[in-house]
Amino acid sequence: MTNSAKSAARTAENSKTLEVLARTGFAVLGLLHILIGAIAIGLVGGSGDSADQSGALRELSSKPGGVVVLWVVVVGLFALTLWQIGQVFLVHETDPKKKWGRRASELGKGIAYGAVGATALTFALGGSSSSSDSSQSLSARLLASPGGVILLVIVGLVVAGIGVAFVVQGVLKKFEKNLVIPAGTKGKAVRGLGIAGYVAKGIALFVVGVLFVVAAVTADPEKASGLDGALKALIDLPFGKVILVAVGVGLIAYGLFCAARARWARL
- State mean pLDDT over 42-70: 86
Position 170 confidence tier, pLDDT thresholds 50, 70, 90: very high
Position 219 confidence tier, pLDDT thresholds 50, 70, 90: confident
- Structure confidence by residue, pLDDT tens digits, 16-42: 888 899 999 999 999 999 999 999 999
- State mean pLDDT over 232-238: 87
Res. 162: pLDDT tops 90:
yes
Q: Which residue has the higher pLDDT, 267 or 210?
A: 210
Cα separation, 160 vs 263, whole angstroms = 30
Q: How far is CA 150 from CA 52, 156, 157, 262, in A?
A: 26, 10, 10, 39
- State mean pLDDT over 167-191: 93
Least confident among 77-86, 124-133, 178-187, 195-204: 124-133
Res. 85: pLDDT tops 60:
yes
- Structure confidence by residue, pLDDT tens digits, 98-150: 778 778 888 888 898 999 999 999 999 988 877 877 888 888 888 888 888 99
Res. 78: pLDDT tops 80:
yes
Cα separation, 29 vs 136, whole angstroms = 24
- State mean pLDDT over 76-89: 88
Res. 5: pLDDT tops 60:
no
Q: Which residues contact 177 (CB under 8 A, 6 or more apart)?
A: 266
- Structure confidence by residue, pLDDT tens digits, 245-257: 999 999 999 999 9
Least confident among 3-12, 42-51, 130-139: 3-12
Whole-structure pTM value: 0.87
Position 7 confidence tier, pLDDT thresholds 50, 70, 90: low
pLDDT in the model for residue 8: 56
Q: Work out the mean pLDDT of the chain and round it to a whole number.
A: 88
Taking the CA atoms of 242, 243, 248 and 250 in sequence, report the sign of the dihedral they define.
positive
Burial of 55 (0-12, 13-18, 19+ CB in 10 A): buried
Per the document, the length of the chain is: 267
- Structure confidence by residue, pLDDT tens digits, 191-202: 999 999 999 999
